[in-house]
Chain A
């Protein structure tokens, strides 16, 4: 069914940049974003004048808005897109940039994400205006009954998974532990203290069944990714990485942002789960078999999302992801390393872009102590169904 897709191997990531991840009360989101962009341009041996497109993921108040960012930094961009301030748009944002350069709407698109989460006293609660949308917030929030915070949506899905498949909270610990172990080999990671099962089980619940270690780090930081036509990137930049293919964010009555199909979230019936053809299309588009994926990168704002992703994309069968994680499946030396930087659970929370930067650096072999022995085809894929595959080569 991939026959109408026209973006395979057309675009490349020409450069990446990232700030440190932490709490930076003296730095604003625009300052963070411009640092990441400068680094990405230096990485690609390009200059500010080469950037004619902007895709902004995460606007005010935690991030930057396209107009102010361009005006304050002297960018003159003729193609501008800004996505809703939610983490879910990573794949869609990269796809927008790839489509823009493929169609000649722009030559060099800077995809920029700044996330200064420390401006919020918490993620969720009375400040979260979007949660009070008529009919429910986008993660299932209902503030009038105290159902607040995006994590409540993940916790509600996790409870179904635990009960339906006979999985325990001890099993869930394996996800956060794997992220922490990856982070401990990453000098840029924010959260690197050792974490074992006992420490995990002794930690406090935030929204049971999820504990503090099941929640992303609340950090400040920014990342920038430069997208160009692959041919031009090969001509002009030292180490481009091919965007083999992309898959956008799906929507519909059987989509709930923090759970995979079949769990009975939203209003759809609970059912057996099998990866949907639509989800698996990424492999046909990219010309890469799932077995050829050397590591998986995913939006792990809450640890159960890793389970949902593994099952949604068929890396594990229904109800089997928990045991796969307990058995070391997602560890650095396991059959499918996940988020080798530590992800949002341990490295930092730049809405997933820090993990995209990691993918590029892994493919380039630039990850030092945590370098994968093989990083030919790396996949981004999420519980909500967006995906892309990056590779050093093309078909």
Chain B
């Protein structure tokens, strides 16, 4: 009886998103900035949806953001994703939104528009950006009500 760990599906990486994933593999989170109008964009694409410029550069983002939404899977849809797990819709400080796992976070701390920070996850040799609830600067005293 051999047990093979189920592997997670990989994203479909084509010409538009390949640079994004190459940066991610180096643990850098970058988004496209339109050379024509300066708009930042995610997901990666060949043209600026605002000004239609074809030109862009990849700029690093801070990794800070807020939790604009989140869902918690209780039904297991895939063997490589044991439940429960939480996926967030993170609004980066620079503006674009990204869907990413919310990790290293007590479910009680999930709150709308709460600050999150970037962490990296690696599974089966593939790196993905993830986020955790950022420590509250006003609350750096140890938990004494536990």
Question: Does the CB pair A208–B72 fall under 8 Å?
Answer: yes
**In chain A between 258 and 281, which residues have their CB closer than 8 angstroms to a CB of chain B?**
264-267, 270
**In chain A between 118 and 153, which residues have their CB closer than 8 angstroms to a CB of chain B?**
122, 124-126, 132-136, 140, 142-149, 152
Quick one: given A143-B78, A208-B72, are A152 and B9 in contact (CB under 8 Å)? no
Q: Which residue, A134, A145, A156, has most C-beta atoms of chain B within 10 A?
A: A145
Question: Does the CB pair A149–B77 fall under 8 Å?
Answer: yes
A148 to B87, CA, bound (A): 10
Name the segment of B52-60, B93-101, B136-144 touching the other chain. B93-101
Question: Does the CB pair B12–A152 fall under 8 Å?
Answer: no
Quick one: given A164-B112, A208-B71, A208-B72, are A144 and B77 in contact (CB under 8 Å)? no
A253 to B48, CA, bound (A): 11
Question: Does the CB pair A267–B87 fall under 8 Å?
Answer: no
Interface status of A209 (Cβ within 8 A of chain B): yes
- Complex interface: chain B residues within 8 A of A163 (CB): 69, 112-113
Question: Does the CB pair A205–B41 fall under 8 Å?
Answer: no
Interface status of A206 (Cβ within 8 A of chain B): yes
Interface status of A326 (Cβ within 8 A of chain B): no
- B39's nearest neighbour on chain A, judged by CB, is A267
Question: Does the CB pair A124–B112 fall under 8 Å?
Answer: no
Interface status of A204 (Cβ within 8 A of chain B): yes
- Complex interface: chain A residues within 8 A of B9 (CB): 126, 132, 143-144
Interface status of A70 (Cβ within 8 A of chain B): no
A206 to B76, CA, bound (A): 9
- A204's nearest neighbour on chain B, judged by CB, is B74
Question: Does the CB pair B87–A147 fall under 8 Å?
Answer: yes
Interface status of A157 (Cβ within 8 A of chain B): yes
- Complex interface: chain B residues within 8 A of A122 (CB): 77
- A156's nearest neighbour on chain B, judged by CB, is B69
A146 to B80, CA, bound (A): 8
- Complex interface: chain B residues within 8 A of A234 (CB): none
Interface status of A159 (Cβ within 8 A of chain B): yes
Question: Does the CB pair B45–A135 fall under 8 Å?
Answer: yes
Give the A interface residue count (CB, 8 A): 38
Question: Does the CB pair A206–B43 fall under 8 Å?
Answer: no
Interface status of A155 (Cβ within 8 A of chain B): yes
A264 to B77, CA, bound (A): 26
A281 to chain B, nearest CB (A): 24
Quick one: given A134-B16, A156-B89, A208-B72, are A145 and B77 in contact (CB under 8 Å)? no
Interface status of B11 (Cβ within 8 A of chain A): yes
Question: Does the CB pair B74–A205 fall under 8 Å?
Answer: yes
Question: Does the CB pair B42–A267 fall under 8 Å?
Answer: yes
Interface status of A392 (Cβ within 8 A of chain B): no
A162 to chain B, nearest CB (A): 8
Question: Does the CB pair B128–A146 fall under 8 Å?
Answer: no
A392 to chain B, nearest CB (A): 43
Question: Does the CB pair A126–B78 fall under 8 Å?
Answer: yes
Interface status of A7 (Cβ within 8 A of chain B): no
Question: Does the CB pair B89–A135 fall under 8 Å?
Answer: no
Question: Does the CB pair B71–A207 fall under 8 Å?
Answer: yes
The residues of B with any CB-CB pair to A shorter than 8 Å are: 8-14, 16-17, 41-45, 49, 68-75, 77-78, 80-81, 84-85, 87, 89, 91, 96-97, 99-101, 112-113, 126, 128, 130
What 6 pairs across the A-B complex have the smallest Cβ distances?
Answer: A163-B112, A146-B81, A125-B77, A205-B74, A135-B43, A208-B72
A-B residue pairs in contact (CB < 8 Å), sample of 23: A132-B9, A134-B11, A134-B12, A142-B87, A143-B9, A143-B78, A144-B10, A144-B126, A146-B77, A148-B81, A152-B71, A156-B69, A159-B70, A163-B69, A205-B72, A205-B75, A207-B72, A208-B72, A208-B73, A208-B74, A266-B97, A267-B41, A270-B68
